[in-house]
Amino acid sequence: MKTKIEISARHIHLSKDDFFALFNLDQMQVRNYLNSEKGAFASKHTVEIVGPKGRMHNIRVLGPFRDKSQLELAKTDAINLDINAPLELSGSGVGARVRVVGPKGEFIKNIAMIARRHWHISNTLADKLKLSTGKKIKIKIGGERSLIFENVIVRVKPEFNNYLHLDTDEGNAAQINKEAIGEIILK
Amino acid sequence: MKTKIEISARHIHLSKDDFFALFNLDQMQVRNYLNSEKGAFASKHTVEIVGPKGRMHNIRVLGPFRDKSQLELAKTDAINLDINAPLELSGSGVGARVRVVGPKGEFIKNIAMIARRHWHISNTLADKLKLSTGKKIKIKIGGERSLIFENVIVRVKPEFNNYLHLDTDEGNAAQINKEAIGEIILK
Q: Name every chain B residue with its beta carbon within 8 A of the beta carbon of A150.
A: 146-148
ipTM summary value = 0.92
Q: What is the pLDDT of residues B49-84, one digit of tens each?
A: 999 999 999 999 999 999 999 999 999 999 999 999
pLDDT score recorded for residue B120: 95
Q: Is the pLDDT of residue B44 over 80?
A: yes
* B1 CA: distance to closest CA in chain A (Å): 19
Q: What mean pLDDT do residues A76-95 have?
A: 96
pLDDT confidence band for B187 (50 / 70 / 90)? confident
Q: Name every chain B residue with its beta carbon within 8 A of the beta carbon of A73.
A: none
Q: Name every chain B residue with its beta carbon within 8 A of the beta carbon of A170.
A: 173
Widest distance between CA atoms in chain A: 50
Nearest CB partner across the interface for B146, out of A76, A151, A170? A151
Nearest CB partner across the interface for B172, out of A76, A117, A144? A76
pLDDT score recorded for residue A36: 87
- Could you give the CA distance from residue A93 to residue A84 in angstroms, rounded to a whole number? 15
Q: In terms of DSSP H, where are the helices of B24-158?
A: 75-81, 123-129
Q: Name every chain B residue with its beta carbon within 8 A of the beta carbon of A151.
A: 144-147
| In contact, B161 and B2? CB cutoff 8 Å | no
Query: B4: burial class by Cβ within 10 Å (0-12, 13-18, 19+)?
Result: middle
Q: What mean pLDDT do residues A33-61 have?
A: 95
The pTM of the full predicted model, rounded to 2 decimals, is: 0.94
- Could you give the CA distance from residue B113 to residue B11 in angstroms, rounded to a whole number? 11
Domain annotation for chain A: domains and CATH numbers: 9-115 (no CATH), 118-185 (2.40.40.20)
pLDDT score recorded for residue A187: 75
Task: Flag if A76 and B146 touch (Cβ within 8 Å).
Answer: no
Nearest residue to A90 (alpha-carbon basis) of A63, A64, A67, A118: A118
Q: What is the pLDDT of residues B111-131, one digit of tens each?
A: 999 999 999 999 999 999 999
Task: Flag if A173 and B170 touch (Cβ within 8 Å).
Answer: yes
Interface of B with A (CB under 8 A): 74-76, 79, 87, 116-117, 144-151, 168-170, 172-175
